[in-house]
Amino acid sequence: MTDELLVVRAQLGDRAALAELVTRWHGPVWTYARRMLDAGRADDVAQEIWLAVVRGLPRLREPGRFTPWLFTIARRSVADRLRGEYVGAWEELPADDPAAGDHPAIGDGAEAVVNRAELVGALSGLPVPEREILVLFYLEDLSVEDCAQVCRVPVGTVKSRLHRARRMLREHLEERGYRP
């Protein structure tokens, strides 16, 4: 059954259709949140995303656009979490702290031991807009147009962020001794 049909059925009150949508899309939503946050925060944000989906699904006018709509909600939830943590971290700094003039880093920044961990580390080291585009485009298989809709930026901006993100990722991996 297609997502569009499941959405229509869920909008009509079919709980099994809603459960199927959640089953089908929970993994990709959690993966998106995990790539933008750490695992613990991703669990919390994924729950917030599904709560927003359940509340907003009756108002979705184009059931065929469920995937971009879902990732728009996911993006907003991740951004809200990052914004809240950024503000919280900023407010917690004492006035005489030398870091008070710097912006707190957002991201995992884990040191890698194996290739996959190195890639994850490099990805988490990218600025949020570039990381977000890479995750949506390559890992969630959204089109450039859908990425633009989710991020609320022009298609050209998505393309330039993809280009910049690929370059930054390549440079990071080359610094670590990985050659394409």
70 backbone dihedrals φ, ψ, rounded to 5°: -60, -45
pLDDT digits (tens, 9 = 90+) for 3-30: 999 999 999 999 999 999 999 999 999 9
Return the pLDDT at 23: 96
Is 38 within 8 Å of 108 (Cβ atoms)? Answer: yes
Longest dimension (CA), the chain: 59
Judged by DSSP in three states, 94 sits in: coil
Between these two residues, 179 and 34, which has the higher pLDDT value? 34
Q: Which pair of structure tokens corresponds to residue 133?
A: 């585009």
pLDDT digits (tens, 9 = 90+) for 43-72: 999 999 999 999 999 999 999 999 999 999
* Helix or strand holding residue 144 (H, E): helix 144-151
Judged by DSSP in three states, 37 sits in: coil
Average pLDDT, the chain: 80
Is 4 within 8 Å of 64 (Cβ atoms)? Answer: yes
| Mean pLDDT, residues 72-100 taken together | 63
Residue 168 has pLDDT above 60, yes or no: yes
Is 177 within 8 Å of 130 (Cβ atoms)? Answer: no
| Mean pLDDT, residues 145-173 taken together | 91
Among candidate residues 26, 119, 109, 5, the one with its CA nearest the CA of residue 74: 26
| Mean pLDDT, residues 102-119 taken together | 42
Return the pLDDT at 79: 86
Within 10 Å of residue 174's Cβ, how many Cβ atoms? 11
C-alpha span between 39 and 171 (Å, rounded)? 26
C-alpha span between 161 and 43 (Å, rounded)? 27
Return the pLDDT at 135: 86
